[in-house]
Structure 1
Amino acid sequence: MHTNPHPARIAPRFLASNALSLLGNSIAAVALPLILLATTGDALAAGTLALICAVPQMVIGVVGGAALDRFNRRDISILSDLVSAASVALIPVVDMLWGLNFGWFVALGLLGAVGDIPGMTARDALLPAVVARDKADLQRFMGLTQSLDSLTTIVGPAAAAFLIGAVGGVPSLWLTAALSFAAALVTCTVPRSVGAEGLRGSGAEADGRSALASAFGALRTGARVLFRTDGVLTASTLLSFGIIMVMGSFQGLVLPVHFTEIGRPELLGYVLSAMSLGLLASSLAYAALAPRLARRTWYLLSLAGMAAGVAVLGTLPDLPVMLLGAVLLGVSAGPASALLGFFMLDRIPEQDRGSALGAQNSLVMIAAPAAVFATSAAVTAFGEAPAAYGLVACWFVITVLAVGAKGMRRLDDAEPSSAAAAPAAAAPAAEAEVPSTQA
């Protein structure tokens, strides 16, 4: 029996699976708010649904993160994609058999959270093992991954807009379910041994209580690192939350309500694709031109441009002007996103990186739905235009605070704190999520 000296590369299969899953999620992110609004006719229902799902999502995310240290990550990724596919496919099935209502959205939304959140984390945890197995360069591979993700977030909303216009919102979800199922099939071709690398122990060695305790211990550690060790890191984390909350409220509520009211729900996808296209272009430009300007200069230019873009979107103008505002917002967000991602990587201690990023994701699961719920209440009480103006006002407050934050005043001279700079002993590398204009 001969051993193949050149084993097949698994990175292309990993990238394909990740792209398929993300493409399905991008389509669903456009279609689901529109379907919910068309079904209930109530903006508050969308915010209430987000809030109801928030706490279970956080718990699932925390427990799922702990499980990834004990169970095969490749298997969890496959199972998560299958659960996601089932939760989305059940929406058109329920619509055909019984008719959709708010209760069905809650039940299927919770089922989807069981699949989506652990699945995303499982792929993040698999990435270093995939790179090591193929003996690839991590930095180049991350660049390829982020470029592919950006392209997917451009194609996904545009595809959703086309499908909603051609076949309707609910039927478009069949493609989303098929993409998640295809992602699971592709991941099945990744050797199971890759998912077992770096595990602390088998599932038989740890009961549910120890997994839950370790998960919440990691959450406490991560929150301490994010908010109590470094001024730049704290300011970056809070600004990231502000971006996610305000932009998530625009994308998940105000814009869907606006386009539903004018009878053109498919236009939402084109606006989000324009935003993603601007973000991709400016991220590539920043990568090429970053050394030519000081970090503080990039930071201020980015915040100013984002404020202008949000102001344009907040007026809910005609489509051509709104597309220009979306492009301006995306272009302006690129440098800020890159800087915030850099600060996360540079200043979080390597041995605490998983805990810190897990804590950030868990807190976002609460903060973003809370913001969407507050926005839905404002839309119900005052209408989408006043709610949009309120979001613009919130963003200007965030901008002023971000500009004046003590930790962000001397970015080019700042060095990581002693806690952040502490060396780690053989901790696995993980990549920080770069905040974007899409939640």
Structure 2
Amino acid sequence: MVAPGALRVRRPFITLLAANALSVTGNILSILAVPWFVLETTGSAVLTGVASFATTFPTVISAAFGGSIVDRLGFRAASVLSDLASGLIVLAVPVLFLTTGLSYPLLLVLLFLRWLAATPGETARKAMLPDLSTAAGVRIERATSAYDGVYRGAAMVGAPLAGVLILWLGPSMLLLVDGVTFLLSATLIAAGVPRVRRGRREPGGYLDGLRAGLTFLWGDRLQLSATTMIVVVNLLDTGVTQVLLALYAREVAGDPRAFGLLTGALGAGAVAGTIVYGTAGGRLPMRLTYGWAFLMAGVPRVLVLAMGAPFPVALAVTAVSGFAAGAINPILAILQYGRIPAPLRARVIGAMTAAAYAGMPLGGLAAGALTEVVGLGPTLFAFTCVYLLISLPPFVGRAWRELDRSQRADA
């Protein structure tokens, strides 16, 4: 039983995790509802890919300048304002659709603004984590695993829920639920998380903040390699999640619940993987763990769809891939918190996020266009090959040997 005093000390940390779970749930609902909404109203894979572009391109812009915005507003204020803006914009989509009507160009504008507003909140919550975990007496390995586990758990619950709600309510009404989750997240952070001291803020404007973050990242070969891997995988994941899985659910499975179940199975496996890594991660070789996790997280789950395996087999393989993915984000977070100076944390994380998101707008466009030309199966095979190639650096790259040396030094 946890003592009341200990619970009081840990309450802000727990509140941060709960608010992030709500915000992530909103993102997952939106990621599943929007492509199905576009497919339902237009029937076009290309227009679905364009909607994916409108969803992902603003995150690159927002992440690029988000670190400096967070620095100026403060972590808590940035998180609250980001979620409030995201929630209100998301609510506008079903309200307009059900009243005056919603044209496709206006939908693209709203999607652009919604994701433009969302990223600073994500950066702010991530930047708060080390200080709140230290105040709560939680080791950084467990804190990063808990943070990622909550993220994965929200995806695990939100994705199947979205599939069911699409059938029950329709994609437009699902976006109403999405908007409410952001408003609840903003309320939790505003009421339950104290201001986090950020140390001395570096002078300069928004471009100076982005430049400082990118300069630091460029000088750290290990984090640069890790970020490059994430750039490519985010591009692939965007194409898979926002276009190819929706097409698979409609054309192969014939049921939107397949879309939600596959995404949920990935999240369920990742929750289990995150728990295991949070418990035993300190005893595992970090470099090889990261390499094998990266390889298994991408290749099998897309290959099994490309091969046309029965849906239960695809679901099981996806869950195994999710389990492997559970170690990736905690290891990345440990790298960030251990190597980035506290005054630069928001700027460097913002720059890394911007870099990591840079390929995402192309993922949906590439998936939609390639599917129109060669079909769903060959597109899935092509994505599998790229997943395989981008998983190799931890096994062969020199910069990754530094991870072994730093882990031995900490032992």
Question: Per the shorter chain, which TM-score range?
Answer: 0.7 to 0.9
Give the distance between the partners of 1:354 and 1:138, measured in 2 at CA: 20
| Structure 2 partner of 1:392 | 384
Between 64-73 and 36-45, report the one with greater CA deviation.
64-73
1:236 aligns with 2:238: no
Q: 1:297 to 1:259 in 2, by over 3 A?
A: same
Aligned ranges for residues 20-419 of structure 1 at < 5 Å? Answer: 20-52=22-54, 54-127=56-129, 130=132, 136-137=137-138, 139=140, 141-190=143-192, 194-195=194-195, 197-198=197-198, 214-230=205-221, 232-262=222-252, 263-290=254-281, 293-306=284-297, 307-408=299-400, 411-413=403-405
Question: Shift in Å at residue 402 of structure 1?
Answer: 4.8
Give, in angstroms, the shift of residue 323 of structure 1.
0.3
- Residues 13, 189 of structure 1: 8 Å contact kept: no
How many residues align? The count is 400
Answer whether contact 1:222 1:359 (CA < 8 A) is retained.
yes
Summarize deviations over 1:57-87 as a string: whole Å, max 9, x none.
4333334432222225433333322222222
Change in 2 beyond 3 A, CA 1:337/1:119: closer
Q: CA deviation at 1:409?
A: 5.3
After superposition, the C-alpha distances for 1:114-167 in whole angstroms (9 at most, x for unaligned) are: 4311222233344456557x6544635544433332321211112112211222
Over 3 Å counting, the alpha-carbon distance change for 1:270 and 1:316 in structure 2 is: same
Q: Deviations over 1:205-260 (max 9, x none)?
A: xxxxx99x632222223223323432x32222222223222222211111111212
Inter-partner Cα distance in structure 2 for 1:155 and 1:12: 19
Instruction: State the Cα distance separating 1:296 from its structure 2 match.
Output: 4.5
Q: 1:393 to 1:127 in 2, by over 3 A?
A: closer
CA contact (8 A) 1:74 1:187 kept: yes
Of the structure 1 ranges 246-255 and 343-352, higher mean CA displacement relative to structure 2 is found in 343-352
2-side partners of 1:329 and 1:22: how far apart? Answer: 20
Query: Is the partner of 2:256 in helix, strand or coil?
Result: coil
Instruction: Give a deviation string over 1:339-377, Cα, whole Å, max 9, x none.
Output: 444333444455543332111111233211122222221
Maintained 8 Å contact 1:239/1:402: no
How far does residue 336 in structure 1 lie from its aligned partner after superposition? Answer: 4.1
With the length of structure 1 as denominator, give the TM-score of the two structures: 0.80
Q: Residues 297-356 of structure 1: CA distance to partner in whole angstroms, max 9, x if unpaired?
A: 434543453433332233343321210221121122234444444333444455543332
Greater gyration radius: 1
Q: Secondary structure at the match of 2:360?
A: helix
Question: What is the distance in 2 between the residues matched to 1:415 and 1:292?
Answer: 10
Cα drift, residue 55 of structure 1: 5.0
Would the alpha carbon gap of residues 410 and 136 (structure 1) be closer, same or farther in structure 2, given more than 3 Å must change?
Answer: closer
Instruction: Calculate the aligned-residue CA RMSD, in Å.
Output: 3.2
In structure 1, distance between residues paired with 2:287 and 2:147: 27
Secondary structure of the corresponding residue to residue 94 of structure 1: helix
Letter aligned with residue 189 of structure 2: T
Amino acid across the alignment from 1:240: I
Displacement after TM superposition at 1:411 (Å): 4.5
Structure 1 runs not aligned, ≥5 long = 202-209, 422-439
Kept in 1: contact 2:269–2:319 (CA 8 A): yes
Higher helix content, 1 or 2: 2
Going from structure 1 to structure 2, the CA distance change for 1:356 and 1:75 (only over 3 Å counts) comes to closer
Q: Give the residue type in structure 1 aligned to 2:207.
A: F
How many angstroms apart in 1 are the aligned matches of 2:149 and 2:37?
A: 30
Percent of pairs with identical residues:
24
8 Å CA contact 1:378, 1:387 repeated in 2: yes
Query: How far did 1:292 drift?
Result: 5.4
The normalised TM-score by structure 2 is 0.85
**What code does the residue aligned with 1:39 have?**
T
* Larger relative contact order (CA 8 Å, sep ≥ 6): 2
* Gapped regions of structure 2 (runs ≥ 5): none
Q: Is the 8 A contact 2:65 2:350 kept in 1?
A: no
Corresponding residue SS for 2:89? helix
Contact kept, 8 Å, 2:227 with 2:356, in 1: the verdict is: no
Q: Could you tell me how far apart the structure 2 residues matched to 1:347 and 1:141 are?
A: 16
CA contact (8 A) 1:246 1:371 kept: yes
**Secondary structure of 1:195's partner?**
coil
SS in 1 for 2:102: coil
Instruction: State the alpha-carbon separation in 1 of the partners of residues 185 and 51 from structure 2.
Output: 27
